[in-house]
Amino acid sequence: MKYDIKKFNDGQVTAKITEGGNLDLKIRGNSYQDLFTIAAVKEAWDAENAMHKNAVATLTILCLIGQRSDRRFHKAESFDLKVIANFINSMKFDKVSILHPHSPISLALIANSEMISHFQFVEKTFKVLGNPVLVSPDAGAYKTTHEIAEKLQADLVPSNKVRVNGAPEISIQGDVKGKECLIVDDLADGGRTFKFLAEALKSQGATKVFLYVTHAQFNYGFEELKESIDHVYCTNSFKDITDEFVTQYSVI
Ligand SMILES: O=P(O)(O)OC[C@H]1O[C@H](OP(=O)(O)OP(=O)(O)O)[C@H](O)[C@@H]1O
């Protein structure tokens, strides 16, 4: 299957199928624009395939927009992940694969969805660093990082984070004295979670602190992270980063 995308001067996006077959789309999915673009492709493909019911349409989303908004935070505010999931569901893909979603709610809300694990990227990082202690930064990350630690036969130090007026407060449940640590989490936004955690780990004797995040957004606070984190490992699911401080695994 092949298609063309055209953008009109007013911003409208239109798609044209130029070769038939199964539809296999892969997008960052970190913008509404990305979602509307594939909606145009899917609509055109559906029209072309109306007579070929055996053709299959799959979608891979690398960094789902709104994945953190997995609940209605306050009364009278929108539940944004639900809005996004409803839109994706309206496209009726046969399968939607999502790379390391923030929480299982994404998978619960999006029909025919499955998670693409971040295991391979953590494994690569773990091997490059040579057996660091894995650190899970909060309750949300604990379950998946625990599973990864078991597979890698790595030591795991859980820590917990509560946000007080938006600022993370950290507690560490384990001994990191004289050890190299690899924090494993799904995404970095402003990086404050990791800055505070790295400072806490180093104050408890960790010799080096590395960070793995699947979705390296770094919308702000990037330079500040260099003061407490020794190196960042991530995918390019959200954006490409060129910086000596960062090693990126390419997924798109
Ligand atoms: O780079 P930062 O700005 O520090 O943000 C990154 C952190 O925020 C997210 O968790 P979040 O606090 O949204 O988790 P929650 O679902 O428990 O609210 C994410 O899983 C990281 O732990």
Prediction ipTM score: 0.95
pLDDT given at position 164: 85
Q: What is the pLDDT of residues 233-244, one digit of tens each?
A: 999 999 999 999
Which atom of ligand 1 lies nearest, measured to the CA of 193?
A: 4
* Gap between the Cα atoms of 92 and 62, Å rounded: 18
The order of strands in the sheet holding 156-164 is 167-172, 156-164, 133-136, 180-188, 208-216, 231-235, 246-249
Ligand 1 centre distance from Cα of residue 234 (Å)? 16
Q: What is the pLDDT of residues 150-206, one digit of tens each?
A: 999 999 999 998 888 877 789 999 999 999 999 999 999 999 999 999 999 999 999
Exposed, middle or buried, 30 (CB in 10 Å: 0-12/13-18/19+)? buried
Domains of the chain: 2-116 (3.40.50.2020), 119-249 (3.40.50.2020)
Ligand 1 centre distance from Cα of residue 4 (Å)? 37
Q: What is the pLDDT of residues 61-117, one digit of tens each?
A: 999 999 999 999 999 999 999 999 999 999 999 999 999 999 999 999 999 999 999
* Mean pLDDT (whole number) for 7-26: 96
Percentage of the chain modeled with pLDDT above 70: 100
pTM value? 0.95
Q: Ligand 1 site: residues with CB under 6 angstroms?
A: 68, 102, 137-138, 140, 185-193
What is the best residue among 63, 73, 118, 138 to mutate for testing ligand 1's pocket, by most ligand atoms within 8 Å of CB? 138
Which atom of ligand 1 lies nearest, measured to the CA of 140?
A: 17
The closest residue, in CA terms, to atom 12 on ligand 1 is 163
